[in-house]
Structure 1
Amino acid sequence: MTSTGGPQFHGDIHGSQIAIGNHDVFQRQYVAAQSKPDEGLTAAVRALLTALEHLGLHAEEEVGVRQDAEAALEEAAQQEPDVGRLRRLLGRIQAVLVPIAAGAAAGTATGLTNETAQLAQTVLTDLQHALP
């Protein structure tokens, strides 16, 4: 494959502004902070709870993830949810799921099936997109 000398993008680009071949560029981007988590967060956490028993977690990990997920649902339902607390809860959940999602690359050496790793990756992606 030969390069044309121009920029190359590999993967998704979200929230970026790119100007190519221009001398003077003026761009603005407004990102509104979300004060209350939307239904996407609730749906993502509920999907995690549904998938939890299929992720092959150790019993202690499963209990911890379930408690964090339920706490996240309760926090998200508050009139004024604590976004920092939500991020901490979801961060702990992600820390448990990342090694499982990475299991697709490790294959059978980890004892995980490709389906389990893919499920963990899907749950992680949904949570990441739903983070406030």
Structure 2
Amino acid sequence: MGGSSIDKRAIAKFTKDLQREFDKQGPIRIPVETDMPELPPLGSGSSGTTVNNYGPVFHGDVSGAQIAWNNETVTQNQQNATNTSTVAPGYEPLAKLVTDLLEQLPQVGLDEQDRLETAEAANDVLKEITGVESPEPGKLRRAINLLRGALSPIRDGLITGLAAGAEDWAKAAIAGLTGVS
């Protein structure tokens, strides 16, 4: 190299002075925004999507109802078992939380495999608290722990590329699942 040299002492002094200034100012904070949609809070009852209904809309209980819409011919059969989809008494808030979670899960931005595994864990919880028999505490505890485990990487920020608010969403879901059995 012709005629130039690196002044290592000057660089060391500059680095030390720069560090001193950073130490005075505290941590550097940079706000980050994504193009992903904001997730609604769990339990809000709104998935944040627009639904266009091109047929009958029912508001209220339609248990056991059958309907055919815009059909040339239709054959309907129905078999009703007693309380096949009833939420076990006392587990209604858990059912609401898990149902909201399943509704909002596609908006979180998980890859297909993680989304399917999380949905499967959530459906296991619902399966245990609905039906004819009372929930079995051991099975329900395992199902809830699996669901919390599936949500933990989201809460901890270990998965990149998720929707804005996904960490808080997962944190709220895990908090809602804590202490339930």
Q: Compute the TM-score of the two structures, normalised by the length of structure 1.
A: 0.59
Unaligned runs of 5+ in 1: 1-34
The AA in structure 2 aligned to 1:71 is D
Q: Equivalents in 2 of 1:36, 1:88: separation in Å?
A: 20
**What's the C-alpha RMSD, in Å, of the aligned pairs?**
2.4
Matched, 1:62 2:112: no
| Secondary structure of residue in 1 paired with 2:165 | helix
Q: Which structure 2 residues correspond to residues 20-59 of structure 1 after superposition, within 5 A?
A: 37-59=90-112
| Match in the other structure for 1:13 | none
Q: Equivalents in 1 of 2:139, 2:89: separation in Å?
A: 13
Q: Equivalents in 2 of 1:73, 1:52: separation in Å?
A: 15
Residues 112, 61 of structure 1: CA spacing in aligned structure 2 closer, same or farther, 3 A cutoff? closer
Q: Equivalents in 2 of 1:37, 1:83: separation in Å?
A: 13
Are the counterparts in 2 of residues 47 and 123 from structure 1 also a CA contact under 8 Å?
Answer: no
| Secondary structure of residue in 1 paired with 2:121 | helix
Residues 91, 37 of structure 1: CA spacing in aligned structure 2 closer, same or farther, 3 A cutoff? farther
Q: Equivalents in 2 of 1:65, 1:40: separation in Å?
A: 19
Are the counterparts in 2 of residues 101 and 121 from structure 1 also a CA contact under 8 Å?
Answer: yes
| Match in the other structure for 1:84 | 138
| Match in the other structure for 1:122 | 172
Q: Equivalents in 1 of 2:111, 2:165: separation in Å?
A: 17
Q: Equivalents in 1 of 2:128, 2:90: separation in Å?
A: 10
Q: Equivalents in 2 of 1:76, 1:49: separation in Å?
A: 15
Please tell me whether Structure 1 or Structure 2 has the larger radius of gyration of its CA atoms.
2
Shift of 1:46: 0.8
The equivalent position to 1:102 in structure 2, one of 156, 168, 180, is 156
Would you tell me which structure has more helix in proportion to its own residues? 1
Identity of counterpart residues, as a percentage? 27
Residues 113, 56 of structure 1: CA spacing in aligned structure 2 closer, same or farther, 3 A cutoff? closer
Shift of 1:36: 5.9
Q: Equivalents in 2 of 1:36, 1:126: separation in Å?
A: 17
Work out the number of aligned pairs and report it: 93
Are the counterparts in 1 of residues 98 and 122 from structure 2 also a CA contact under 8 Å?
Answer: yes
Unaligned runs of 5+ in 2: 1-87
The AA in structure 1 aligned to 2:140 is L
